[in-house]
A = this chain, B = another copy of it.
Amino acid sequence: MPPDEQSFPSVWTRPHPQRREQPALNREQIVAAALELLDAEGIDALSMRKLGTRLNAGATSMYTHVANKDELIELVVDEVYGEIEAPATNDPEGWRAAITGCAHSMRATLLRHPWIVSVLGEAGLAYLGPNMSRLQEAMLAVFEEGSFTLQAANQATNTLMAYIIGISTSEAAWLTTLARSGRSEQEWADRLWPTALQAVEAYPRLRSLYAVQRAQSLSDARDDDFDIGLECVLNGVVARLAHHAAP
């Protein structure tokens, strides 16, 4: 070690590390900080270096608590799933109200973190996460309360979750471009209007649908569309049950 590299070998110039007075870094706070960063700036802005600086840590300090960026994302995804209100068994308003409430909570959660839909297709074993397991089990229990068999409850859960994930994907895509534009939903739609009209010029049904949509509030329309589709799915799974139960 060359001894005289510092011109001022004083205590004051030396950085005085004093680590270990806080418990240093922690898997939970890493996940929490990643979630904040994702919500604030979107999926492209999540880099290990930015995450490090946000935690007053170096870029590579997270790798002792998390194996990968992919693994980190799996953790964050399950953290988001933890925000979904699981349906309550023995809901006084009945199983269907409980399921409907859970569906609303799930959509709201996914749209509160719209970046999530772009990682759902890669987070392969997401349904093994503790929060996802808990949620699934709760939904199965509620469907059983509605006198579904376990198999039927499973089918219903899968169909319902697929619907919610799918519609949230479309909505999140819209919300993301919206956020990037920096405008309000109506203003952005107005600006997009001529382009959209031109795109569907050759298609009369889409043309008249777009014309109707121009008159209404887009976010209300999205809420209504979700509710209508949800009713359809629930009616469908119930109908299947009745049909199979009483031959």
Identify the A interface with B (CB < 8 A).
43, 114-130, 133-134, 136-137, 140-141, 144, 150-151, 153-156, 158-159, 161-167, 169-170, 172-174, 176-178, 180, 192, 195-196, 199-200, 202-203, 205-206, 208-209, 212, 225, 228-229, 231-237, 239-240
Main secondary structure on chain A at its contact with chain B?
Answer: helix
Please judge, given known A-B contacts A166-B163, A228-B240, A239-B239, whether A173 and B133 are in contact too, CB under 8 Å: no
B236 touches A199 (CB 8 A): no
B240, A206: Cβ atoms closer than 8 Å: no
Of B126, B163, B170, which is within 8 A of A233 by CB?
Answer: B163
B residues in contact with A144, CB < 8 Å: 205
- Measured in the bound complex, the distance between the Cα atoms of B161 and A118 in whole Å is 17
Closest residue to A204 on the B side, CB-wise? B137
- The distance from the CB of A171 to the nearest CB of chain B, in whole angstroms, is 9
Measured CB to CB, the closest approach of chain B to A162, in angstroms, equals 3
CB pair A133–B200 under 8 Å, yes or no, is yes
Contact partner of A134 among B163, B203, B233, CB < 8 A?
A: B203
Once A233-B236, A236-B234 are accepted as A-B contacts, the answer to whether A176 and B209 lie under 8 Å apart by CB is no
State whether A169 touches B159 (Cβ < 8 A). Answer: no
Q: Are A196 and B128 touching (Cβ within 8 A)?
A: yes
Residue of B with least CB distance to A177: B124
Given A133-B203, A166-B164, the answer on whether A176 and B240 have CB atoms closer than 8 Å is no
The 4 closest A-B pairs by CB, nearest first: A124-B177, A166-B166, A236-B236, A232-B236
